């Protein structure tokens, strides 16, 4: 599989422009022959634009996700729309298969296949409270789904989830061998951003791909550095903090080879 991580320029208060930049990145990556394009956390509103959450929230059939579903179909490429502010009440009213357990707002990532069909909906489990309004504004998710795509079983988590390794172990128990992590990780915690996903890859003998944005907010600047880690924890593709698209070839057979050579998962007690 050819994977692209779209480290987008996210402009606070420019929702229309941010979505347009996401569509352009999908088109650009698809022209390079990729199979899957992954976008950052809250790429449309910007994570730290808390005052924009409610007015830009939408259900799973809303305009942002509909546009990205169309982009996936038009460009014949799978897309991780990771993530938007979901209005759980709107989704419930649509009687969707991914009906939430509660109302409110959620930080929601959606995986579309190359035909624009939803394959996975993940609502962020661990809400960040440190210098953040997220815990007061959002409802945590209660499901940890996986989806089969391109020979992989894919799991999705979001940003702060990286600090909770039990979540990743649960995904591996469900068969996951590639973990996608849309994020809005800010300075100064660069070492955390590089160490935690590498540890998750090593622990779970899985690919881990982190997709950050490039943005300056009033009180935060994102570190960028979107990276693909292989099942040994080796970074195989990365970038700096500027807007970019990171490309990597990933192989499900490599996961099988590593797990066979070093079967640590079999030794769990």
Q: What is the mean pLDDT of residues 178-197?
A: 97
Q: Quick check: 145 pLDDT over 80?
A: yes
Nearest alpha carbon to residue 22 among 192, 243, 224, 254: 243
Q: Quick check: 21 pLDDT over 90?
A: yes
Does the annotation count 174 as an active-site position? no
Instruction: Give the CATH number of the domain where residue 199 resides.
Output: 3.60.110.10
Residue 92 pLDDT grade (very low, low, confident, very high; cuts 50, 70, 90): confident
From the list 58, 86, 124, 134, the catalytic residue is: 124
User: What is residue 100's predicted lDDT score, i.e. its pLDDT?
Assistant: 77
Check residue 242 and report its DSSP letter.
S
From the list 134, 159, 166, 218, the catalytic residue is: 159
Residue 137 and residue 53: Cα distance in Å, rounded? Answer: 8
User: What is residue 198's predicted lDDT score, i.e. its pLDDT?
Assistant: 98
Q: Quick check: 99 pLDDT over 80?
A: no
Nearest alpha carbon to residue 160 among 177, 182, 137, 179: 182
Tell me the pTM. 0.96
Total number of domains constituting the chain: 1
- Token pair of 180, please? 């996608």
Beta strands in 150-241 (DSSP E): 152-156, 178-182, 207-211, 227-229, 235-238
User: What is residue 97's predicted lDDT score, i.e. its pLDDT?
Assistant: 74
User: What is residue 95's predicted lDDT score, i.e. its pLDDT?
Assistant: 66
Q: What is the mean pLDDT of residues 133-141?
A: 93
Residue recorded with tokens 């590593």: 258
User: What is residue 195's predicted lDDT score, i.e. its pLDDT?
Assistant: 98
Q: What is the mean pLDDT of residues 84-109?
A: 87
- Token pair of 65, please? 């996700």
Q: Quick check: 102 pLDDT over 80?
A: no
Instruction: Provide the domain limits for residue 141.
Output: 2-267
Residue 171 and residue 237: Cα distance in Å, rounded? Answer: 23
User: What is residue 84's predicted lDDT score, i.e. its pLDDT?
Assistant: 98
From the list 41, 58, 86, 134, the catalytic residue is: 41
Q: What is the mean pLDDT of residues 83-89?
A: 96
């Amino acid at each position: 599989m050819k994977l692209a991580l779209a480290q987008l320029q996210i402009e606070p208060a420019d929702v229309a422009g941010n979505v347009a930049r996401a569509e352009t990145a999908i088109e650009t990556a698809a022209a390079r022959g990729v199979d899957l394009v992954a976008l950052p956390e809250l790429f449309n509103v910007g994570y730290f634009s808390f005052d924009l959450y409610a007015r830009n929230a939408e259900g799973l059939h809303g305009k942002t996700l509909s546009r990205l579903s169309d982009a996936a179909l038009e460009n014949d490429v799978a897309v991780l729309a990771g993530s938007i502010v979901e209005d759980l009440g709107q989704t419930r009213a649509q009687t969707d298969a991914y009906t939430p357990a509660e109302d409110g707002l959620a930080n929601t990532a959606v995986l579309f296949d190359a035909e624009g069909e939803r394959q996975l909906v993940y609502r962020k489990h661990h809400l960040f409270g440190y210098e953040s309004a997220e815990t007061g504004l959002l409802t945590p998710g209660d499901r940890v789904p996986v989806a089969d795509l391109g020979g992989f079983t894919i799991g999705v988590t979001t940003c702060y989830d990286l600090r909770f390794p039990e979540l990743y172990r649960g995904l591996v128990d469900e068969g996951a061998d590639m973990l996608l992590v849309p994020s809005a990780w800010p300075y100064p915690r660069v070492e955390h951003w590089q160490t935690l996903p590498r540890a998750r890859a090593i622990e779970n003998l899985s690919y881990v791909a982190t997709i950050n944005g490039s943005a300056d907010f009033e009180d935060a600047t994102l570190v960028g550095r979107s990276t693909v880690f292989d099942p040994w924890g080796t970074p195989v593709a990365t970038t700096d903090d500027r807007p970019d698209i990171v490309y990597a070839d990933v192989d499900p057979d490599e996961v099988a080879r590593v797990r066979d050579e070093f079967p640590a998962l079999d030794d769990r007690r």
